[in-house]
Amino acid sequence: MSLRSEDMKLTFVYVSVPDLEVALRFYRDELGLDESWREGDGTVVFQLPGSEVQLMLSVPPDDGPRWRTGPFYAVGDVEMFMKEHDSFEWVGEPNDVPGGRSVSFRDPAGNIMHVFDRSAPE
């Protein structure tokens, strides 16, 4: 099944960082990016100028390659997206994230891509 533009919306560029304070000094203090929101002590999100896309900096949990730097695309339903694209090389199983579910896949060159939905009840 081929993708249509409404199937995936680039929402975040995820950047894995080993030290959030060092990253904050660079992205906030040196580049001057505006902080949008935080999730706990390990994730900070910045609005990218001139774009709806946000930059997500996060100290990843130590549980494998699914937390590599890469784009995060919003999809309607993670489970359905996986079923519709069963030829993708999925990395791990879907997991709960704030607001919904997320899963990662590898492109033919080995790059990690992430998809997420907003399926959690508000």
- Is residue 80 in some structural domain? yes
- Is residue 51 in some structural domain? yes
- What is residue 69's three-state secondary structure? coil
Q: What are phi and psi of 82, to 5 degrees?
A: -65, -40
Residue 68 has pLDDT above 80, yes or no: no
Nearest-angstrom CA–CA distance, 21 and 15: 14
- Is residue 122 in some structural domain? no
Q: Which domain CATH number covers 95?
A: 3.10.180.10
- Is residue 2 in some structural domain? no
Q: What is the pLDDT of residues 92-120, one digit of tens each?
A: 899 998 899 999 999 999 999 999 999 88
Q: What is the pLDDT of residues 22-46, one digit of tens each?
A: 999 999 999 999 999 999 889 999 9
Residues 6+ apart with CB under 8 A from 88: 82, 105, 106
Q: What is the domain range of residue 86?
A: 9-116
- Is residue 69 in some structural domain? yes
